[in-house]
Amino acid sequence: MVKKQRVVGLKKRIEILQSEVESANAELEDAKRIKEVAEEELNGYEVELSLNDATIQSLEARIALLHDEISTVGNEVEALKNKEGLLRDQFISQMEELNKEIREFQKVTSNVGGNGDSTGITKNVKVFEGGYGADSEAIKDMLSDVNSQIAIEEEGYPAEQNIQTQLQKELDEYEKKMSLMEAITDRTNSVQALARYPYLHYHVSLMDNKQTSELEQILASLGEELQKRCRCQNCHAENLEILSLLLQGDEDFLNMFFEKVFKPVPPVYNLILSVLWRHPGNVDLESVKVVHYCPAGSKPWRYTGEEPNMDREDVKMLINKWWDIYNDESLDFKPEIPEDLEETLSK
C-alpha cells in the first residue's frame, strides 16, 4: 500500500516536472525569438552605420570640392583686383603724359602771342605752323585715342565691377554652404558615435555611386529647407546663428523652434540636462523619472567634468546616480527557478 502511494506520488511528481519542462521549453522558444529579433535589429544598425559612413564620405568629398571652388573664385577675384589696379595706373600715367604735352603746347602758344610786331607774329605763326603743325596733329590724334580709351575703360569698368560683385556673392554662398555641410557632417558623426556605443564597429561595404548621388540630393534638399526655414520673412537675411544652433541638436531649442507643430514631453519623463541651467525653475529632481544625457560631455561613460556646465553639483549627482544603477547587481535579470524543481535538481 505504501509502495502504491509512493508510485502515485512519483507519477504526480513526474507530471509536474513534465509541465515545468514544457514551460521551460516555451520560455526557451521565447528567448530564441527575442534573440532573432535582436539579431535583426543589430543588422539594421549595421546597415544604418554603413549609410552614415557613406554619407560622411560623400559630405567630406563635397566639402573638399567646395574648398577648391572657393579657392578658385578667390584667385579670380584677386586677379580682377590686380587687373583693375594695373588699368588704373596706366590711365593715370597716360593722363600725366597728356598734361605735360598740353602744358608744352600752351607755352608755345604763349610765346607766339607775346611778340609785338605783326611781321614777327606772322613770321612766328608761320614758323609755328611749319614746325609744330605736325605735333598739334599728333596731339589731337593722341587726345582722340585717349578719349576713346577712356570711354572704353568707362564702359568696361561697370562690367568688371558686376563680375567682381557676382564672384563675391558666389564666394559668400559657397562659404555658407560649406559651413552648413560641415555642421551636418559633425552632427552625423556625433549620431554615429552615439549609435555605436556599446556595440562594436562593423565595417560594411559602401553604397554604389547611384546611392551616393541620391544621398547628396537628399542632403542638398535638406540644406535648402533648413536655410529656407531660418531665412527672415521680411528682410530675407540668412540667420546662420539659428541654423548652427538647430544643427547642434539642441533639443530645448528644437522644442521652441517647433512649438506650433508638437507638444514636447514634460521634463519629468524626459529631463534634458541643459534644462537644469536654462530653465531651473521647471525642474524638480525629486520627481524626475527619466534623464536624457544629451549635452556635450554628459555621457556617464565619457564624463570628465571639463565641458561647460559639467562641474555643476546636480549634474555630478545625476552622473553618480547613473553609475549606481549600472553597478547595482540586484537590478540584473535573473530567471527564477521554482523551489520544487530546484530541490529535485539538487537531489
Domain co-membership, 234 together with 280: no
> 0.75 exceeded by the pTM?
no
Domain co-membership, 105 together with 69: yes
Domain co-membership, 327 together with 258: yes
Domain co-membership, 133 together with 60: yes
What is the per-residue pLDDT across 149-167, written as a single tens digit (0 to 9) for each? Answer: 788 877 777 888 888 888 8
Domain co-membership, 131 together with 237: yes
Domain co-membership, 323 together with 280: yes
* CA–CA distance, 124 with 139 (Å, rounded to integer): 20
Q: How confident is the model at residue 191 (pLDDT cuts 50, 70, 90)?
A: low
Which triple of cell numbers denotes residue 37? 529579433
The pLDDT value given to residue 148: 80
Per-residue exposure over 202-239, b if at least 16 CB sit within 10 Å of its own CB, e if not: eeeeebeeeebeebeeebeeebeebbeebeeeeeeeee
Domain co-membership, 117 together with 264: no
Q: What is the mean pLDDT of the chain?
A: 73
Q: How confident is the model at residue 34 (pLDDT cuts 50, 70, 90)?
A: very high
- Say which residue, 309 or 200, is predicted with more confidence: 309
Of 249, 269, 299, the residue that ends a domain is: 249
The pLDDT value given to residue 55: 87
Domain that holds residue 73: 2-249
Q: How confident is the model at residue 249 (pLDDT cuts 50, 70, 90)?
A: very low
Q: Are 53 and 185 contacting, i.e. CB atoms less than 8 angstroms apart? A: no
Nearest CA to 341 out of 1, 113, 7, 19 is that of: 19
- Say which residue, 277 or 237, is predicted with more confidence: 277
The pLDDT value given to residue 67: 87
* Alpha carbon separation from 219 to 48, 54, 207, 252, 345 (Å, rounded): 16, 12, 16, 24, 61
Of 249, 279, 309, the residue that ends a domain is: 249
- Say which residue, 307 or 173, is predicted with more confidence: 307
Q: How many domains are contained in the chain?
A: 2
Give yes or no for residue 233 having a pLDDT over 70: no
129-133 long-range Cβ contacts below 8 angstroms, 24+ apart = 132/108
Domain co-membership, 156 together with 27: yes
Give yes or no for residue 135 having a pLDDT over 70: no
Counting residues of the chain whose pLDDT is more than 70, the rounded percentage is: 62
Q: For 51-65, 89-103, 181-195, which range has the lowest pLDDT when averaged over its residues?
A: 181-195
- Say which residue, 249 or 299, is predicted with more confidence: 299
Residue type, 26: A
The pLDDT value given to residue 123: 46
Domain co-membership, 56 together with 116: yes
Of 231, 249, 267, the residue that ends a domain is: 249
Give yes or no for residue 129 having a pLDDT over 50: no
Domain co-membership, 170 together with 265: no
The pLDDT value given to residue 120: 44
Domain co-membership, 260 together with 240: no
- Say which residue, 266 or 309, is predicted with more confidence: 309
Give yes or no for residue 14 having a pLDDT over 50: yes
Domain co-membership, 122 together with 225: yes
* CA–CA distance, 61 with 259 (Å, rounded to integer): 36
